[in-house]
Amino acid sequence: MAISGAVFKYYLYKATEAVEFYRPIMYLYFLSQGLSFTQIVIIEALYNLTTVLGEVPTGYVGDRIGRRNSLLVGSVLITATLVGIAFASSFLVFALLFICWSLGYNFRSGTEDAWVYETLTDVSASDEFTRVRGRGQSIALTTGVGASLVGGYLGGLDLTYPFLAAALFTGLGLLVIVTLDEPVTYEDSGSSEMGIREAWGVVKQAVGQRRLRSFIVYYFVLFSAITYLVFIFLQPIFETVVTDLNMSLTLPLPAPGQGNPYTLTLSTDNVETLLGVYYAAINLVSAAISYRINFIEEWVGLRRWFIAIPLLVGGLLAAMVFVPPIALVALFVGWACVEPTRVLAGQYVNDRIETLGRATVLSAMAMVSAITVIPFQLGSGVISDLVSPVIALSAAGVILVVGSIVILLRESPIEQSSIRSNPDTGT
């Protein structure tokens, strides 16, 4: 397959991720079903515990069965889970569904980046990973703008509708996945014949690299864990802040035919729709950054980005407890920078690991992140029930700032050299 055709299919696949349909109302839905904050973080912790136990095995299976088949299995599980969530009504059922949900993303975790990187390597274009991956994410986020608005509107009608819409859209992605070809680089690597002991050796060798150890702690442990909490608490904090401020948003609309223009007013009476607009704005900013991510890599530099962003996000989160309205900015910045940072991290890591067992190694790093986030989730859930989500997230912001400074003082997690090496060729 020509590389342009492969990239086009990847972009189509990214357009069907559909997560923004339910994101604006996800935790409001769980709360409406009678779950407490503690129960919500417990099912999230089960999700991450499943990630811990399943990331490496599913990454290994992905190396054995191929990139396309792994993506296919993951998407089927995710689609079925979204339908199940729409009809769930008890804590136990939600817990079981979150385990299945995690397994679905386990099969896609690492495999997606591995497929993109290796497909580009087939034509000696691995240095294009950041641009292709960034534009793919930009497409997903841009599609998510409309999905956020539709999801917020559907949530105002019935909180189950966004999950069903997301299931339908994710199901469409299956039609794209079945047309993907396996990268020649993968087929020539011998990954499909790799034994368990050999896979474990590959993981230890990659994670044990001095140039990756501090980055894993800095990004996969600290930054990823705190920004995951932003995702969990964004909706209840947003609802609290806009209610306390009695906020509303008036949108002028063109008049149909003749007559005076009319307006659409969004207020705390329809917070689901407000959340949809808020998520759409976050997606627009994140999509714009992701689309031009190669310029950030070239002009800002990975080192400056990875130093500035954690300190900025942590500082804004810590300030919320003193000036609550800052929460709207903190949540916006905290979530808008997640995807661009993930793309840059993907380039940095992929440039430093080999094709053999690539999906297994990437899944192992995701596993490290999942282990770390569990105590953060449980602790923040208890604090939220005892005090408030704002206090819990502000405390997490302090941890992010202090932890980042400690790591930076000990050893820079990002190599100063911008020269990339290809582990498979030694160049």
pLDDT(420) > 50: no
More confident residue, 409 or 418: 409
The answer to whether residue 178 is domain-embedded is yes
pLDDT(144) > 60: yes
- Measure the CA–CA gap between 279 and 257, rounded to whole angstroms: 31
The answer to whether residue 311 is domain-embedded is yes
Q: Which residues pair with 253 in a beta bridge?
A: 262
How many CA atoms, within 13 angstroms, populate the side-chain half-sphere of residue 29? 26
- Measure the CA–CA gap between 190 and 336, rounded to whole angstroms: 38
pLDDT in tens, 151-197: 888 888 888 999 999 999 888 888 988 888 877 776 665 554 444 55
The answer to whether residue 293 is domain-embedded is yes
Structure tokens at 385: 């029930």
- Measure the CA–CA gap between 97 and 91, rounded to whole angstroms: 10
Determine the pLDDT at residue 186.
Answer: 61
The answer to pTM > 0.75 is no
Query: Are the C-beta atoms of 36 and 385 separated by less than 8 Å?
Result: yes
Determine the pLDDT at residue 360.
Answer: 66
The answer to whether residue 423 is domain-embedded is no
Strand 262-267 to 248-253 pairing: antiparallel
Confidence category of residue 266, pLDDT binned at 50, 70, 90: very low
Confidence category of residue 355, pLDDT binned at 50, 70, 90: low
Domain containing residue 214: 3-254+265-410
The answer to whether residue 427 is domain-embedded is no
What is each CA distance from 345 to 133, 221, 278, 309, in whole angstroms? 11, 13, 26, 13
User: CATH code at 355?
Assistant: 1.20.1250.20
Confidence category of residue 395, pLDDT binned at 50, 70, 90: very high
The answer to whether residue 419 is domain-embedded is no
Lowest pLDDT segment from 92-101, 206-215, 259-268: 259-268
The answer to whether residue 417 is domain-embedded is no
pLDDT in tens, 276-293: 788 888 888 888 888 888
The answer to whether residue 418 is domain-embedded is no
Determine the pLDDT at residue 250.
Answer: 52
Q: Into how many domains does the chain fold?
A: 1
